[in-house]
Amino acid sequence: MEASRIIARLTRTVRDVGLAEDLAQDALVAALEQWPESGIPDNPGAWLMAAAKNRAIDMFRRTRRLARKHDELGRELQSQQETAVPDFETALDDNIGDDLLRLMFISCHPVLPTEGRVALTLRLLGGLTTEEIARAFLVPEPTVAQRIVRAKRMLSEKQIPFEMPRDNELASRLSSVLEVIYLVFNEGYLATAGQNWMRPALCEEALRLGRILAELATQEPEVHCLVALMEIQASRSKARVGKLGEPILLLEQNRALWDQLLIRRGLAALERAEKLGGLRGPYALQASIAACHARAITAEQTDWNRIVALYEELGRLTPSPVVELNRAVAVAMASGPAAGLGAVDKLIEEPLLKNYHLLPSVRGEFLRQLGRLDEARMEFERAASLTQNGRERELLINRAKACAGINGSETTTPPS
């Protein structure tokens, strides 16, 4: 998380995203070398920033290729070094001057292809690895790596200025920025890899950026809808993880633990978007689905027929096999597991879902409810082999064991 802030701050100074990332990595390496002996400083972010600036000064003094920038940038950086270190966190809370948000709009600049914008921003600001980004996009890891390298090279070659876009440029970059924010949130809400079911810091960072963006783009309904979606989903965080860190899926959650303040904030953001009018976009539809869950006092009172209709509308607007898989879950809740299985079976040959663990997971649950336990066990085992998240793998293995009559956790809920 500190790395993304350092990269954002350095980019404003050195005017080069790739160079800023290298300097930030140098500072982090220095911390790994020095902190075990000296101890973690009171303000780690300021220490890392100072270390990165020192390296920038040294680099500009050594590099003849950057001689034209040497005097100007060297004096600027030296002046910053000689003054008291500013409050790192306070500086980042400035709305218009938020370096992270500026860097996000740079990463989503129209000169870059859409895939490159999203991948680069996730790497620089979300702190995600190329593997995590690849899993989020359901594409090979080398493809993501190439997108990131090309995007950084193009930004450097085009000398993109480190500034917020003007009003007439905002809309052209907004969709990519929204996609990035939500992908970062999703990685925090359901981690694609590792031993933790959630990565709360990523959810908090995505929410922070979304709220800032909502203040900057007050007349953009989809911005408010994305914030609404994230607020409502974040409201379930405490109910989604057990005392030992184990996952608790949607229908098993104690709804008394849902954060009512976040729900109210989310519903208010959705209401603001609806008052602005216009066509409903993908975040409006997803926020409406989340609102259906939030308004239901119990799982049984959820309006599953409305959720099915909303997923159908979302599928027409943004056709996607993942949307269809989510719709199948809603169909099963509204009309029974046989109907859900019929919808899922239509997706078995979908190439994008070939290695997507939630397809066999959902199919296994429908088969289990229908009493076809041997088939369900095989689906859960396949899902467990595909996921990179340790907690999720454990949950799926327990489901498989339950189908085989071995002691295990028998969970009967759709994904949360």
Residue 295 has pLDDT above 90, yes or no: yes
**Three state DSSP letters for the chain:** CHHHHHHHHHHHHHCCHHHHHHHHHHHHHHHHHHHHHHCCCCCHHHHHHHHHHHHHHHHHHHCHHHHHHHHHHHHHHHHHHHCCCCCHHHHHCCCCCCHHHHHHHHHCCCCCCHHHHHHHHHHHCCCCCHHHHHHHHCCCHHHHHHHHHHHHHHHHHHCCCCCCCCHHHHHHHHHHHHHHHHHHHHHHHCCCEECCCCCHHHHHHHHHHHHHHHHHCCCCHHHHHHHHHHHHHHCCHHHHECCCCCECCHHHCCHHHCCHHHHHHHHHHHHHHHHHCCCCCHHHHHHHHHHHHHHCCCHHHCCHHHHHHHHHHHHHHCCCHHHHHHHHHHHHHHHCHHHHHHHHHCCCCCHHHCCCCHHHHHHHHHHHHCCCHHHHHHHHHHHHHHCEEHHHHHHHHHHHHHHCCCCCCCCCCCCC
Which of 105-119, 243-257, 388-402 has the weakest average pLDDT? 105-119
The string of pLDDT tens digits covering residues 13-51 is: 777 878 888 888 888 899 999 999 889 988 888 888 888
Residue 296 has pLDDT above 80, yes or no: yes
Percent of the chain with pLDDT over 90: 46
The pLDDT of residue 75 is 58
- What number is the average pLDDT over the span 198-219? 86
Residue 298 has pLDDT above 80, yes or no: yes
Q: With contact defined as beta carbons under 8 Å apart, do 309 and 342 qualify? A: no
The residue ranking higher by pLDDT, 261 or 413, is 261
The string of pLDDT tens digits covering residues 315-349 is: 999 999 999 999 999 999 999 999 999 999 999 99
The pLDDT of residue 141 is 93
Q: Sign of the C-alpha dihedral, residues 145, 150, 153, 158?
A: negative
d(CA 103, CA 112): 14
**Long-range contacts, stretch 404-407, CB < 8 angstroms, 24+ apart:** 404/373, 404/377
- What number is the average pLDDT over the span 115-126? 84
- Amino acid (one-letter) located at 307: I
Residue 127 has pLDDT above 80, yes or no: no
The pLDDT of residue 402 is 94
The pLDDT of residue 302 is 95
The pLDDT of residue 125 is 76
Residue 288 has pLDDT above 90, yes or no: yes
The pLDDT of residue 95 is 37
Residues β-bridged to residue 389:
194
The pLDDT of residue 319 is 95
The residue ranking higher by pLDDT, 363 or 279, is 363
Nearest residue to 309 (alpha-carbon basis) of 293, 294, 330, 329 = 330
The pLDDT of residue 43 is 87
Mean pLDDT of the chain, nearest integer: 85
Percent of the chain with pLDDT over 70: 88
pLDDT band of residue 72 (cuts 50, 70, 90) is low
Q: With contact defined as beta carbons under 8 Å apart, do 209 and 257 qualify? A: no
pLDDT band of residue 93 (cuts 50, 70, 90) is very low
